[in-house]
Structure 1
């Protein structure tokens, strides 16, 4: 799941770094230090994208916090293989302090899992306590990345999009329905979310020549290229 960490020289890892660079250039005039990552529907790769982007940002010395705001079907703790006994929900109800629930993953990367699944996720995320917490986190970290449920499924992503500087919409190539993607954009537009870009996920590397050219350009011989294509999870690449 964390290919930027586990296979840093892969084309997919380079794609995440390109995404990181694009965000940095996008924020040249406006400081995009809080970014929400969502999708139109389930299983499009939003959590994987958010997690790898967090790792990529931390690589350049930025202090990064990734928050699992999917309080219904959390998964960030699985990506980073950390405990989810306590997290965001426990913080918001005053059961725990930030220092008690945040987990340091690397020198620059911190993980805040979802915590106990609450009965009222939308209300909890819309609370003044959540707004205050994000403002505080923004002052302590260079980047805050927020993983949310899909836009169409529930209102959580819409609610949180009003509290952040930018939104990334992840779309699974060949899986996402065009009508669903358009609907997701409409819902985000309704709350005046700042959609800074779209990530095309699950693009098949064998469907075009550009990835093969990447391998060739950087000096990989044909036999090694075939072996890499065979063994790596290239189908999960970001385009």
Structure 2
């Protein structure tokens, strides 16, 4: 689910329409099931953000999103939310509070340690379970790469 209602990007990554999506559902303009798109990845459906609203934080903190999440839980085993960066706006903290857990994504060479720690602290204040961290963009050095052998 693209819950970045300010600068959505999931529709670009999967080359699907963003005419209708999460905002269409939250503003009651469309039924949730009609806004879900199939992706070209097996067992992966996409709910794009939909049109950019004037009030993203309010929509993400509404009863409507809780209703949508509950409906999605009845359809899917896992629901993954893409949100804006934690330090930029409160939207991520709002959504994180509605999730079972959070995986924080950190950009190698771009995210400094202080920012990562501050983001972690903000997520903890939002009463979220931090499940782990993904480090994106790490250069691999195969000469120093070791793997677990049994």
TM-score (ref. length: structure 2): 0.92
| Mapped pair 1:131 → 2:83 | no
SS at match of 2:141: helix
Task: Tell me, in whole angstroms, the C-alpha distance in 2 between the residues paired with 1:207 and 1:161.
Answer: 35
Aligned counterparts of 1:131 and 1:208: Cα–Cα separation in 2: 48
1:203 matched to 2:130: no
> Does 1:113 pair with 2:73?
no
Give 1:72's aligned residue.
Answer: 6
2:131 & 2:44 partners in 1: Cα distance?
23
- Rounded to whole Å, the distance in 2 between the matches of 1:90 and 1:185 is 31
Q: How many residues align?
A: 147
Q: Alpha carbons of 1:207 and 1:187: their partners in 2 closer, same or farther (altered >3 Å)?
A: farther
Aligned to 1:50: none
Q: 1:80-91, aligned counterparts within 5 Å?
A: 80-91=14-25
What is the Cα deviation at residue 206 of structure 1?
2.8
Partner of residue 231, structure 1: none
Q: 1:117 to 1:205 in 2, by over 3 A?
A: same
Check 1:172–1:143 CA distance in 2 against 1; reply closer, same or farther (3 A cut): same
2:138 is paired with a residue of what secondary structure? coil
TM-score, normalising length from structure 1?
A: 0.59
Unaligned runs of 5+ in 1: 1-66, 218-239
Q: Which residue of 1 aligns with 2:108?
A: 173
TM superposition shift of 1:99: 2.3
- Give, in whole Å, the separation in 2 of the partners of 1:130 and 1:165: 15
Inter-partner Cα distance in structure 1 for 2:48 and 2:32 = 11
User: Partners of 1:159 and 1:73 in 2: how far apart?
Assistant: 16
1:1-239, aligned counterparts within 5 Å? 67-106=1-40, 108-206=43-141, 209-210=144-145
Structure number with the higher helix fraction is: 1
Q: Which runs of 5+ in 2 are unaligned?
A: none
Aligned-pair Cα RMSD in Å: 1.7
The answer as to whether partners of 2:103 and 2:132 remain within 8 angstroms in 1 is: yes
